[in-house]
Amino acid sequence: MRRSLFILTLSFATIGELRAAAPAGIVPPNAPKSVFVDEPGFGRDPFFPNSIDRRVVTQVDTTVTATVPVFITCKGISQAPGKKPLAIINNYTLAEGEEFSLRYGSQVTKVKLVQIKERSVIVEVNGVSKELPLRTGFN
């Protein structure tokens, strides 16, 4: 029992000496400094592992040229004397300057009839103009 009491007393003395040797809040002069490196795309937030704050943002290529879809066709042109000419585009009858929304599958396209010619029409789709000839087999 004396032996265990001696060891217990020795351990309390050692802890007391360590506390007295290094006061709290003082950093030794040769201690290394912490460095924080902030690189986008590297690491993750340990508290929010599913957050997207650290991910690299990719740029979207917007140089793709827009075209008039091939499913837009001119089916007929009507030019009665003394009346405005009319054109039939995908079963819609339009005069110059009118527009309509055309649904094709899951795609919705706004089509504007710009000009009606003798055997063709000029339509504008998404800011792109195209001349559509009258469908073959019609006069």
Task: Give me the tens of pLDDT residue by residue for the chain, a chain 139 residues long.
Answer: 555 544 545 455 555 555 555 555 677 888 888 887 777 666 667 777 676 666 656 666 566 556 778 888 899 999 888 889 999 998 899 999 999 998 888 888 899 999 999 899 999 988 888 999 987 765 5
Residue 123 lies in a domain: yes
User: Would you say residue 47 lies in a domain?
Assistant: no
Q: Give the SS3 label for residue 131.
A: strand
Q: Does residue 61 form part of some domain?
A: no
Residue reference for tokens 């929304």:
101
Q: How far apart are CA 17 and CA 33, in angstroms?
A: 27
User: What is the residue range of 105's domain?
Assistant: 74-133
Query: Could you tell me the pTM of the whole model?
Result: 0.50
Has residue 14 been placed in a domain?
no
DSSP codes joined into one string, 36-101: ----TTS---SS-TT--TTSPPPPP---PPP---TT--EEEEE--TTS--EEEETTEEE-TT-EEE
